[in-house]
């Protein structure tokens, strides 16, 4: 590979369940084994990779129960394995398949979370914990891949793990659109309703819901993603969230504000499709309505927020299995 494409990055082993024995043997071979091309000891590695899936969703009293803890355990084990070798600890890590379950093509009642907001809220709660685990174990997380497919000529919203169905975008794709708006560096976030990382790894979210946030500071703006997640897909009260942002530029009295939302009624074509009677051959006007509903939508919120002494405070009611993204631009409304 390197002879053909000198700048290619070569790594692996992209094994399941956080890597396990296969990845350990792969690393040992690359560090101390005989190179099958050169006959010398060792094979260069540019990155390490493994798969991490959540515990298979189950049906409990008629509702879907997710397994966030299973995915975080797999990630923790994979990171710990890479960190156990001094030579590989600094290398970039790519989570080659990072998903709530292990079978993209499978369908069934326990996988009915995929077309709706639950898939988005699960992923919103998972990705920041990947960064938290990487920080804890001192490894270099470069990225993670959602392992979704395209299934042609299938019924609308059939339930495979996809980003879109017959050209209609799903809420999970809108979550990735939210993440795509976040740039710069992560900044510290504290939540009184976040589930601690160790409890998440041990038990998932089975008691109180997980309400927390991820924030990034880019050029002239701050992005804050807030989620309200629970493993059990059952009704529950909204989370009444007070978001206090500190450390904004000195002298700023007003900042531009945009809020994006994913929930049952925002950025969610699945809800609209059901409201239309679940058509399998939607006429052009309905298809256009579904296309529009499948895009990332802004919530109706004020276009600016007041800033005093570098601080602004935002209020929102966030339904269960919902995600909000605030984009705060450090530009006075008068400008």
Q: CB-based contacts of 45: which residues, under 8 Å, 6+ apart? A: 10, 11, 27, 30, 88, 91
DSSP secondary structure, 20-31, as one string = HHHHHHHHHHHH
What is residue 17's predicted lDDT score, i.e. its pLDDT? 87
CATH number for the domain harbouring residue 243: 2.60.40.1500
Number of domains within the chain: 1
> Is residue 151 in a domain?
yes
> Is residue 309 in a domain?
yes
What is residue 1's predicted lDDT score, i.e. its pLDDT? 87
Strands (E) in the chain, as ranges, are 11-15, 47-53, 58-60, 63-65, 92-99, 140-144, 164-165, 168-169, 185-187, 210-218, 221-229, 239-245, 254-262, 297-298, 304-306, 312-318, 322-329
Residue 127: closest CA among 325, 260, 330, 329 = 325
What is residue 295's predicted lDDT score, i.e. its pLDDT? 98
> Is residue 110 in a domain?
yes
178 to each of 11, 123, 226, how far by Cα in Å? 29, 12, 11
> Is residue 109 in a domain?
yes
What is residue 263's predicted lDDT score, i.e. its pLDDT? 98
- The Cα–Cα gap between 176 and 130 comes to 15
> Is residue 2 in a domain?
no
Averaged pLDDT in 10-residue chunks for the chain of 335 residues: 92 91 96 95 96 96 97 97 97 97 96 97 98 98 94 95 97 98 96 98 97 95 97 97 95 95 98 98 98 96 92 96 96 50
Task: State which residues form the domain around 255.
Answer: 11-329
Q: What is the pTM of this model?
A: 0.95
Residue 121: closest CA among 228, 39, 209 = 228
> Is residue 3 in a domain?
no
> Is residue 335 in a domain?
no
Show the tokens assigned to 107: 């369908």
What is residue 219's predicted lDDT score, i.e. its pLDDT? 87
> Is residue 5 in a domain?
no
Is the link from the previous residue into 163 a cis peptide, with omega within 30 of 0?
no
What is residue 335's predicted lDDT score, i.e. its pLDDT? 45
What is residue 116's predicted lDDT score, i.e. its pLDDT? 98
Given a contact cutoff of 8 angstroms between Cβ atoms, the answer to whether 107 and 154 are in contact is: no
């Amino acid at each position: 590979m390197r002879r053909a494409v000198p700048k290619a990055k070569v790594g692996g082993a992209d094994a399941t369940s956080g890597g396990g024995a296969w990845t350990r043997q792969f690393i040992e071979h690359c560090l101390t084994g005989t190179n099958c091309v050169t006959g010398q000891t060792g094979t260069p590695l540019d990155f390490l990779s493994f798969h991490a899936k959540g515990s298979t969703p189950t049906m409990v009293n008629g509702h879907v129960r997710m397994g966030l803890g299973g995915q975080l355990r797999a990630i923790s084990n994979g990171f710990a394995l890479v960190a156990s070798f001094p030579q590989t600890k600094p290398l970039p890590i790519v989570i080659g398949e990072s998903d709530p379950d292990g079978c993209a093509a499978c369908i069934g009642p326990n996988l009915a979370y995929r077309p709706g907001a639950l898939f988005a809220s699960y992923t919103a709660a998972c990705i920041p914990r990947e960064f938290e685990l990487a920080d804890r174990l001192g490894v270099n997380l470069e990225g993670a891949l959602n392992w979704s497919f395209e299934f042609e000529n299938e019924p609308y919203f059939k339930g495979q793990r996809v980003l879109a169905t017959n050209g209609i975008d799903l809420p999970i794709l809108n979550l990735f659109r939210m993440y795509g708006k976040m740039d710069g560096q992560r900044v510290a976030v504290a939540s009184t309703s976040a589930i601690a990382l160790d409890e998440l790894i041990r038990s998932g979210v089975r008691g109180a819901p997980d309400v927390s946030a991820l924030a990034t500071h880019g050029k002239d703006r701050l992005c804050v993603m807030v989620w309200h997640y629970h493993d059990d897909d059952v009704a529950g009260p909204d989370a009444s969230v007070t978001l206090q942002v500190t450390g904004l530029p000195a002298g700023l009295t007003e900042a531009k504000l945009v809020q994006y939302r994913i929930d049952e009624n925002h950025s969610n074509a699945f809800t609209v499709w059901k409201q239309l009677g679940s058509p399998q051959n939607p006429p052009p006007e309905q298809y256009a309505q579904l296309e529009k509903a499948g895009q990332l939508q802004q919530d109706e919120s004020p276009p600016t927020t007041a800033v005093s002494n570098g601080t602004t405070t935002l209020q929102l009611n966030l339904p269960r299995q919902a995600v909000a993204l605030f984009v705060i631009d450090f530009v006075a409304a008068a400008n």
